[in-house]
Structure 1
Amino acid sequence: MITERERRKIGSLKRIALVSTPWPLFSRPSIQLGALKAYLDKQFPDLEIDAHHFYLKVAETINYKLYQVVSERTWLAETVYAALLVPEQFERIERVFCREISGNPLFRKAGLKTLAAQVKKVSDAFIDGTDWGGFGLIGFSVCLCQLTSALYFIKRIKRRFPHLCIVIGGSMFAGESTRNLFQLVPEADFVVNGEGEVPLSSLVRYLRASGGHEEIPPITGVISQKTASNEIPTAFSQMETLSNLPPPDYDDYFNLLKTFSPQKTFFPTLPAEISRGCWWRKPKRTSKYSGCAFCNLNLQWSGYRSKGPLQVVSEIDKLTTKYKTLSVAFMDNLLPIKRSEDIFAGLSRLDKDLRLFAEIRATTPRHVLEAMQIAGVQEVQIGIEALSTRLLKKLNKGTTAIQNLEIMKHCEELGIVNVSNLILHFPGSDLMDVEETLRNLEFALPFRPLRFVHFWLGLGSPVWKDPHAFNIKTVSNHSSYAEILPSHISNSMSFMIQAYRGDLGLQKKIWQPVKKKIRAWKKSYAELHRTPLSTPILSFRDGRDFLIISQKRVGAEPSTHRLVGTSRAIYLFCRRHRSLKRILANFPEIAQDRIVPFLSMMVDKRLMFEENGRYLSLAVPLRWAGNSGFSSRDRANT
């Protein structure tokens, strides 16, 4: 029973804690904690909010390089706290750990037992050294790689303070994944389904007005032990607009960083957001699915909302000024296409040498990319995913191979580092997809190599919802959950990462040549860019009425080509992909039987790419390439 003293403490609710456990990227504050703290502080000015970016302390303790390696692999990250949660399964957990480290030399001295002991020491010191009884509520943000670490903290804290109100939220738990969640975390009192600001503020408001959390009425977007059922919650409670969302508060992260020795301090990257959700997920008449077939990244939101340009620019200015760092990573899954140019034009006028990262669609226009580059965007992740238009249709990307090659070329030209992926083993892909990919890879070789990633089945994705359409027979939780969690827990609910039975054996076999090709691509690209002042692999210099194209080759002198007069004009006209009809219309004085052979010759020489009667010139202008090293002020004046 709760004592009257404890009831008064909970009812008054003058202080709450927000916690982010390992393993997010240590070099960034948690935007989840920062956004929630700023919003709650605005709603309740008298409420004391402690945001614990505890993962940063773990990174400082075990070594930043080691932490980074662990944080980049989901199952590796989950094994560390799993070893503390379920010590009786240590041997099984260690097998997962060894499988994931793949002989990495960083782990020669730090096996699972050693690493878990280090993490336990710093975690227990934090748990035991914090007066959790002084808080009326503790909220845990749980995203990818944070499942077992959050469970460890929740169980340890609740054991010491059984009447403390524990709230769980984050992208790991939304929609289907909240079903039976209290079997996994019986220590939790509430789970926030979806975006956290409005539900959590409603919960805080009720707790401040009531005598305890047992008396809380139903709140939209909040699941309690009392209201939990086997029904999948569909109701979100989110802000209608992001216009009233204050800039995130990262004070606690930077205050923690200041306590480290000078050898362990660094300049963090500030997470920021322009939008929430994905406008590509809007239902479409022409498609059976909304959004990309493999994606489950936007389950915690309904619809798509974005901030206005002035709000974004003001927020970035305030954050970089306050925290005295110039690196910013936009966490959006998709930037607002209509507002992006104005946003980045505004950022370029701040007179700050920003270093920006963003995720964009392959259909992002060239003029928007230019505005991004001028503002300071140095790295992007593009939703490329495939170089086969046939496969892109299966992925429901709404793009084509020629569009992907075009934006890869633009990034190469503008000096923007493209860190995009190529998805392999997608269920239902076939030899024709592989053959098209191999053929088109030949034309991608002048550009920064893509990273190949293996398809994984995400809970709630279109593929998961309609498995038979993708040759999937059965779905279940990924087997690694059973290896790192007790069976009664691993079978109690659906987790974010799923496994499936289908054509996986075939997929692994047919995509091997693509893996080999990508490895060779990375090697040749690195060889041809081994010096800091290396020029693009495929570039041109314009002589006004003629054009010289240089095609660099490994182990040989560059191949050069000269285009004169109309040939030059056609090549420059196709710097954006153009249909044959458009080319003929633009050069009416040249007969089709002269233009088509020229285009075919350019394709044969890998100087142009053709797809379904559309043509794209692949060489980038030599005088533009390399300008990415300029400051934003220099770029604005070029």
Structure 2
Amino acid sequence: MSFTEQVLLVVPPVLYPGIPTLGPSILAPACRKLGVSARVHYANLSFAARFGFEACVRIAGSRTLLGEAIFLGMAFPERADRLDRLLDMLKEDAEADAKLRQLVRPPSASDEQVARVVREIPDYIRETAARLVAGRPRIVGFSTMVQQTMASIAIAREVKRLDPTILTVLGGANAAEPIGSALLELTDVFDFVFSGESDVEFPRFCKAYIEDGTRPDKRIIRGRGVPKLDDVPPPDYDDYFDELAPLREHDPIAASAPHFLIFESSRGCWWGDKKTCTFCGYNFPGTNYRAKSPDRVVGELEALIERYQVPKFYASDNIMARDFPESVLDALAHRGTPCALSYEVKSPIRAEDLDRFVLAGIFEIQPGIESFSTDILKGMDKGVSGIDNVRVLRDAGSRGLRVVWNILTAIPGETCADYERMLAMLPLMQHLRPPTRWGPIRISRYSPYHNQPDRFGIRGLRAWAAYYELFGDYADRIALHFFGEYTTEFMDNPELVARLDQAVLDWTNAWSAEGGPPTLSLSRRGGGWMEITDTRAVAKVPNCLLTPDLAALLDSVRQPVSQLRVPPGDREKLDFLVSLGFVLLHEKRYVSLVTEPEIGERLIAQRSRNLAHRTNTALPRIDIGDLRVGTERRRLAFAHTETLRI
């Protein structure tokens, strides 16, 4: 495939090849809108085609820096002799990282796969650069995130060698300040770096340079962000589909791609504008929350479905807009838009909004559940209580919603008492979806832990050791992840750490058992009676009928209720339900643990009717079962990016 466009935007390896990338797919049409021809080249697809999609998935899913390390010799030839030592170091890091447990862990790349990739990367870089310069583009830009910096340097170096007149630029998450300045000092392969959102600045830069050769005075170009997201063009994924098409018949992962599309309805975090969660490095400094208008979101989703015939979407949003359930989800439900959405949301979530999620086609949520200790959550600045998080898991379970969440430990200020209370809860919750990951936090760039370590008693902040092998003295300015010296009561108690680890392992194992996950569910009978089915390991009675008065009492704690607000006569009955494990008493508040699957069944039936009578008949007819089944490939696709969200 040859390119004739004036601007080429490169998606470098190593990035999961089963989905297109949002950023360059927005910038390319923005350039074209100004009269500059532009396209996106998916070098991660050509990498997967050469080395195998499976190998690419394994390397991209590495929670170490393997995807960066394999390009060291071509990015910095003078340091190629460090590669073997670096790879050995990353093996040790991978073993240490096993302390952070996860329900789904992508398989690691084998020594043979890594050896072959390292051996053939020089040819791959030369072939990729030759393809880029063949059409004599004026500008070659590299979009970077996760593990794409070294590959970008390596390809840009070869592009400059072949044609020094081509302007090379770097952008994306791995180019934001202070990373961008450090990279410009470290290597001369980039002419300019764009730091932050550059929806306006980059297309104008391209137009000015191509029309009259104008270059900015400064090599770091700071994006100011678009005040109105409705002014940003919708993503154009045509280039991805064009480059994927010839690969489909040769690889099963490629054959089923794209496994979902990424769409954007907001940027920033409205909660973070008030109070940033202490471990969160999502947003660059100065990023303010903005959301697209409801009509734009609905129209863009339907246009993408119609154009690409792909109904599954992962929202890039850091957090769902507060008015989104009523303003957007109700419209999607009413129109019967055939979509399956995965969204990040803010816990706690109202039950009626979860109903809207199901009716609109949301099948998966990431509600930011990181603990069930209110004291720990306060220390994280989460703005939610532990028992509210329990209630969200229960209500999501009643509706068949997949929940992606974590239990984070090593939180400055945590105590052993926090975890003793949680340990008493976890066996009672085995019927609710277990955490995707659990274990110690990472200190991420831009997070309060990184920006204000003294505030949390963190000393000796330094980049991961592998960053020093990759970037030398610039590691602390380029790294995304850091170590810090601090301790907590919990971290100093290995017996308690082991007990928590075992409790969560028991929970996740219960969900992978041959007979299926445990249940604690109710079915309503006539006259106010309620039948309870309990298959948890801690079940006292597998099946029982609750009398109308006990059933009414169970319903009265669907929302958490303070122990002090319960009348003495009811408290005794509630304590009886607590003794059966049907009600949780945590931090002096009661909440029902019993799910109600009939709620989800009614909502799914309504969703099916909406799909059958959709208002936009140009959209494809899709079975609701296809929309609600989350694929394993989707889980693997974001395994490497979700690590940045911890």
**Is the alpha carbon distance of 1:504 and 1:53 closer, same or farther for their aligned partners in structure 2, counting shifts above 3 Å?**
farther
Counterpart residue type for residue 550 of structure 2: S
1:189 counterpart residue number: 191
Q: Give the deviation of 1:463 after TM superposition.
A: 1.2
Counterpart selection for 1:425 from 410, 413, 420: 410
1:483-632 counterparts in 2 under 5 A? 483=469, 485=470, 487-490=472-475, 493-503=477-487, 507=491, 509=494, 510-527=496-513, 530-531=514-515, 537-544=519-526, 545-554=528-537, 559-580=542-563, 584=566, 592-625=567-600, 632=607
Counterpart residue type for residue 579 of structure 2: D
Give yes or no for contact 2:198–2:223 (8 Å, CA) kept in 1: no
Q: Which runs of 5+ in 2 are unaligned?
A: 99-105, 613-623, 625-646
Counterpart residue type for residue 605 of structure 1: L
1:184-223 counterparts in 2 under 5 A? 184-213=186-215, 216-217=216-217, 223=220
1:454-465 counterparts in 2 under 5 A? 454-465=440-451
Q: Give the deviation of 1:272 after TM superposition.
A: 0.1
Q: Give the deviation of 1:418 after TM superposition.
A: 1.0
1:296 aligns with 2:281: yes
Q: Give the deviation of 1:18 after TM superposition.
A: 0.7
2:8 counterpart residue number: 17
1:364 aligns with 2:349: yes
**Is the alpha carbon distance of 1:25 and 1:594 closer, same or farther for their aligned partners in structure 2, counting shifts above 3 Å?**
same
Counterpart residue type for residue 549 of structure 2: T
Distance (whole Å) between structure 2 residues aligned to residue 552 and residue 516 of structure 1: 20
Counterpart selection for 1:242 from 226, 229, 254: 229
Q: Give the deviation of 1:255 after TM superposition.
A: 0.3
Distance (whole Å) between structure 2 residues aligned to residue 432 and residue 333 of structure 1: 32
Q: Give the deviation of 1:581 after TM superposition.
A: 6.3
**Is the alpha carbon distance of 1:124 and 1:453 closer, same or farther for their aligned partners in structure 2, counting shifts above 3 Å?**
farther
Distance (whole Å) between structure 2 residues aligned to residue 535 and residue 574 of structure 1: 24
Give yes or no for contact 2:415–2:489 (8 Å, CA) kept in 1: no
Aligned CA-pair RMSD: 2.8
Secondary structure in 2 aligned to 1:595?
Answer: helix
Give yes or no for contact 1:391–1:429 (8 Å, CA) kept in 2: yes
Give yes or no for contact 2:58–2:107 (8 Å, CA) kept in 1: no
**Is the alpha carbon distance of 1:613 and 1:428 closer, same or farther for their aligned partners in structure 2, counting shifts above 3 Å?**
closer
Distance (whole Å) between structure 1 residues aligned to residue 403 and residue 418 of structure 2: 23
**Is the alpha carbon distance of 1:628 and 1:132 closer, same or farther for their aligned partners in structure 2, counting shifts above 3 Å?**
farther
Give yes or no for contact 1:132–1:157 (8 Å, CA) kept in 2: no
Q: Which runs of 5+ in 1 are unaligned?
A: 1-12, 225-234, 284-289, 585-591
Deviates more, 1:355-364 or 1:116-125: 116-125
1:92 counterpart residue number: 85
**Is the alpha carbon distance of 1:178 and 1:90 closer, same or farther for their aligned partners in structure 2, counting shifts above 3 Å?**
closer
Q: Give the deviation of 1:441 after TM superposition.
A: 2.0
Deviates more, 1:125-134 or 1:253-262: 125-134
1:73 counterpart residue number: 62
1:348 aligns with 2:350: no
Q: CA offsets, 1:407-435, max 9 Å, x none? A: 11111111111121111222332312322
Distance (whole Å) between structure 2 residues aligned to residue 165 and residue 124 of structure 1: 18
Give yes or no for contact 2:8–2:38 (8 Å, CA) kept in 1: yes
Distance (whole Å) between structure 2 residues aligned to residue 576 and residue 119 of structure 1: 57
2:36 counterpart residue number: 47
TM-score by length of 1: 0.86
Distance (whole Å) between structure 1 residues aligned to residue 123 and residue 504 of structure 2: 42
Q: Give the deviation of 1:440 after TM superposition.
A: 3.0
1:143 counterpart residue number: 145
Distance (whole Å) between structure 1 residues aligned to residue 507 and residue 306 of structure 2: 41
**Is the alpha carbon distance of 1:244 and 1:564 closer, same or farther for their aligned partners in structure 2, counting shifts above 3 Å?**
same
Q: Give the deviation of 1:406 after TM superposition.
A: 0.9
Secondary structure in 2 aligned to 1:373?
Answer: helix
Give yes or no for contact 2:359–2:604 (8 Å, CA) kept in 1: no
Distance (whole Å) between structure 1 residues aligned to residue 363 and residue 250 of structure 2: 27
1:114 aligns with 2:96: no
Q: Give the deviation of 1:111 after TM superposition.
A: 4.3
Q: Give the deviation of 1:626 after TM superposition.
A: 5.8
Counterpart residue type for residue 602 of structure 1: L
Q: Give the deviation of 1:262 after TM superposition.
A: 2.0
Q: CA offsets, 1:97-143, max 9 Å, x none? A: 43366699764462422122344443432222232662121211111
Give yes or no for contact 1:424–1:511 (8 Å, CA) kept in 2: no
Secondary structure in 2 aligned to 1:511?
Answer: helix
Secondary structure in 2 aligned to 1:575?
Answer: coil
Distance (whole Å) between structure 2 residues aligned to residue 118 and residue 444 of structure 1: 49
1:379 aligns with 2:381: no
Q: CA offsets, 1:182-225, max 9 Å, x none? A: 12332212111210211212322432453353xx245xxx716x
1:252-401 counterparts in 2 under 5 A? 252-264=239-251, 265-268=255-258, 269-283=260-274, 290-299=275-284, 302-401=287-386
Residue correspondences, number:
589
Distance (whole Å) between structure 1 residues aligned to residue 41 and residue 83 of structure 2: 29
Counterpart residue type for residue 32 of structure 1: G
Secondary structure in 2 aligned to 1:298?
Answer: coil
Q: Give the deviation of 1:504 after TM superposition.
A: 7.8
TM-score by length of 2: 0.85
